Structure 1
Amino acid sequence: MTAKLPLTLACNLYDRSLPLLTGQVEIEGCAVNFVPIAPEEAHARAFNGADFDVTEMSLSSHLLATSRGGSPYLALPAFISRAFRHSCIYIRKDSGLRTPADLRGKVMGVPEYQMTAAVWTRGIISDDYGVRSEEIAWRTGGLNMGGRKERMALDLPAGFDVRPIGDATALSDALVDGRIDALLTARAPACYDNGHPDIIRMFEDYRPLEEDWFRRTGIFPIIHAIGLRRDLAEQHRWLPRSVFKAFLQAKTLAQRNMWEMGFLTTSHPWLGDEARRLRDIMGEDPWPYGLEPNRKTVETLIRYAREQGLIHRAVTAEELVFPHVSDKAFAI
């Protein structure tokens, strides 16, 4: 009997990854050691040592590494994390800021300039509100505790004002005391979570804006992909398809559970109503895998990264994401 290939797999526990942990879905030909891990740690360990054979990874960090001559990972089009981003802008009530158009000439905090959530939010600010990234001064650092650094070194063109806010300063505190005018962050800052009376989202009612943006663009922003170490992919040519197939099957099972109304698999009493609303807006497969169903989304992220000074050469979708797997070939 042929021995199974041992694989370490690092990923956050999502409904769409859980079947790989429980063993409900297996990666063909592999003995998997699933390491549940927070995304930020997975990203850091992916690009500072390629610690895991298969890993959840930041698509923007992978894009920067690819544009500079190579990433240690092959990005499979199993887009494990996605999110709309109109909810990511926080301001003070007395700031006078009403829409992203008011951010021109202001100072805005962000944990990392290169993080994927920031790339998408800045792209929306540029496309829909006419404010380019270089028209805002950016201050980077820890969200609720000082000291966070950029995961990937920045090489920005002249004209971009991007600087650390300082190791002793948390961005949440800087927003409260006015050292920054606004804050862009995927995770809510402590000042907002703790109910500070002066801190609000720029768009508190963000869902209608995000639904409208999807209807207009057809884009559901990709945040993280599944990475497979390149050396393993070159050594075992069958492996990219087997890994992709497993993640596709796990996602399909998660979606079936979401649509199941006979018994609720998620702790939400009106899940059926949510599911119908989701279908009406985004169709039967709101979370598509594969490159072709996501080509516009991938190419938009590449365009945004170039406009924001993060990459300095053209990168194709096929260069960024492994194209030789299909969301149709392995459906269950």
Structure 2
Amino acid sequence: MPQPLSIAAKSYPHTAFLTDPELTVGGRAVELAAADPIYKAFAPMVRELRYDVSELAIATFLQAREAGAPIALLPVVLSGDFHHHSLTRWPGSAEISPADLAGRRVGVRAYSQTTGLWVRGILHEEFGVDAKEVTWVTTEEPHVAGYVEPPNVERTTGKVLDVLERGDVVAAVLGPPALDGAQGPLVPIIPNWREAEEAWGARHQTVPINHMLTVRRDLLEAEPQTVSALYQAFGAEIEARKAADTEPGPRVRALRFGVTDELVAGLQIAIDYALQQNVIRTPVTVAELLDDFTRHLGERA
């Protein structure tokens, strides 16, 4: 009997099908990994290839690819959002404008966290603040072991919310789980952030990508039919989720399946931002990111 297919993915409406005990993919049962929060699966995936298939942050994938990890990217966006509202200060703290962050300390879980990638890109693009001008105070190391952080990155203890509350930083970048779970209203630093987010989306014709679906390259090469079946299953769930929402917010609009113009735009901007910020140091094209998918699943897709 074939080994189960090990999959690490967060519980979303569009991943609920993975919990079906009768689910098989290409004749293989599915073993859903326990990883909560999901980013705890990222280091084991890129360092050890612990899972056959894994949700992975796009910044982590870019770094893993640069480091030579044998992981293939599938054009399936599992989560995304606008991130102007992710840059916050503690309630009652001194007001500060985005442009004033140059020369200051800003908290973020890890320098390579994808939400941080998008926020730093926004600061540079819209407010002229270069990532090198800010001291980034982090609480975790990168998922990719060989990545060397820029010299303006520091490590501290505790959670980012703790660092922000005790005043060690003037602002913090918080991803959706932290923002959604925060006690009390954090104050977004970017003014009129809702309008600014939609303007960014209109300008770039996409919603920022956070997490995508990846697969071990050896599995893709050995069992393209199995990976294709799983890819199509994810796609059907994503399309159903989007079709069911008559007025989708950005988190639903971010979901994507297949090589679309929105996906290509999102990946290209992530590459551009990552190079600007030394998240990666080697230029890469969107076609190169999707090369494994195109070669092994292009016709099947």
TM-score with structure 1 setting the length: 0.78
Secondary structure, counterpart of 1:180 in structure 2: coil
* 1:84-123 paired onto structure 2 within 5 Å: 84-92=82-90, 93-98=92-97, 100-123=98-121
* 1:216 CA drift (Å): 1.7
Matched residue count: 294
* 1:37 CA drift (Å): 3.2
Question: Equivalent residue for 1:13?
Answer: 11
Question: CA 1:188–1:176 in 2, change beyond 3 Å: closer, same or farther?
Answer: farther
Following the alignment from structure 1 to structure 2, what is the Cα–Cα distance between the partners of residues 286 and 25? 26
Question: Equivalent residue for 1:221?
Answer: 208
* 1:30-69 paired onto structure 2 within 5 Å: 30-35=28-33, 37-38=35-36, 39-68=38-67
Question: Equivalent residue for 1:317?
Answer: 286
* Greater CA drift, 169-178 or 85-94: 169-178
Of 184, 193, 203, which residue of structure 1 is paired with 2:173?
Answer: 184
Letter in 2 for 1:258: D
* 1:102 CA drift (Å): 1.7
Of 184, 189, 194, which residue of structure 2 is paired with 1:195?
Answer: 184
Which ranges in structure 2 are unaligned for 5 or more consecutive residues? none
Indicate whether 1:235 and 2:222 are aligned: yes
Following the alignment from structure 2 to structure 1, what is the Cα–Cα distance between the partners of residues 221 and 182? 46
Indicate whether 1:173 and 2:175 are aligned: no
Following the alignment from structure 1 to structure 2, what is the Cα–Cα distance between the partners of residues 299 and 24? 38
Question: Residue by residue, what CA displacement relative to the aligned partner does 1:144-167 show, whole Å, maximum 9, x if unpaired?
Answer: xxxx3332343245xx411112x3
Question: Residue by residue, what CA displacement relative to the aligned partner does 1:42-83 show, whole Å, maximum 9, x if unpaired?
Answer: 213212322111111122111111112x22321111111111
Question: Equivalent residue for 2:275?
Answer: 306
Following the alignment from structure 2 to structure 1, what is the Cα–Cα distance between the partners of residues 59 and 168? 28
* Greater CA drift, 238-247 or 17-26: 17-26
Contact persistence 2:111–2:149 (CA under 8 A): no
Following the alignment from structure 1 to structure 2, what is the Cα–Cα distance between the partners of residues 181 and 285? 31
Which ranges in structure 1 are unaligned for 5 or more consecutive residues? 142-147, 260-273
Question: Residue by residue, what CA displacement relative to the aligned partner does 1:219-261 show, whole Å, maximum 9, x if unpaired?
Answer: 21111111111111121233332221111012122233334xx
Secondary structure, counterpart of 2:89 in structure 1: strand
Following the alignment from structure 1 to structure 2, what is the Cα–Cα distance between the partners of residues 7 and 107? 43
Following the alignment from structure 1 to structure 2, what is the Cα–Cα distance between the partners of residues 315 and 230? 18
Give 1 or 2 for the bigger CA radius of gyration. Answer: 1
Letter in 2 for 1:320: L
Question: CA 1:300–1:49 in 2, change beyond 3 Å: closer, same or farther?
Answer: same
Question: CA 1:45–1:116 in 2, change beyond 3 Å: closer, same or farther?
Answer: same
Indicate whether 1:162 and 2:157 are aligned: no
* 1:173 CA drift (Å): 2.9
* 1:87 CA drift (Å): 1.5
Question: CA 1:126–1:95 in 2, change beyond 3 Å: closer, same or farther?
Answer: same
Task: Report percent identity of matched pairs.
Answer: 25
Letter in 2 for 1:74: A
Contact persistence 1:114–1:152 (CA under 8 A): no
Following the alignment from structure 1 to structure 2, what is the Cα–Cα distance between the partners of residues 246 and 189? 30
Question: CA 1:107–1:87 in 2, change beyond 3 Å: closer, same or farther?
Answer: same
Letter in 1 for 2:183: N
Secondary structure, counterpart of 2:4 in structure 1: strand
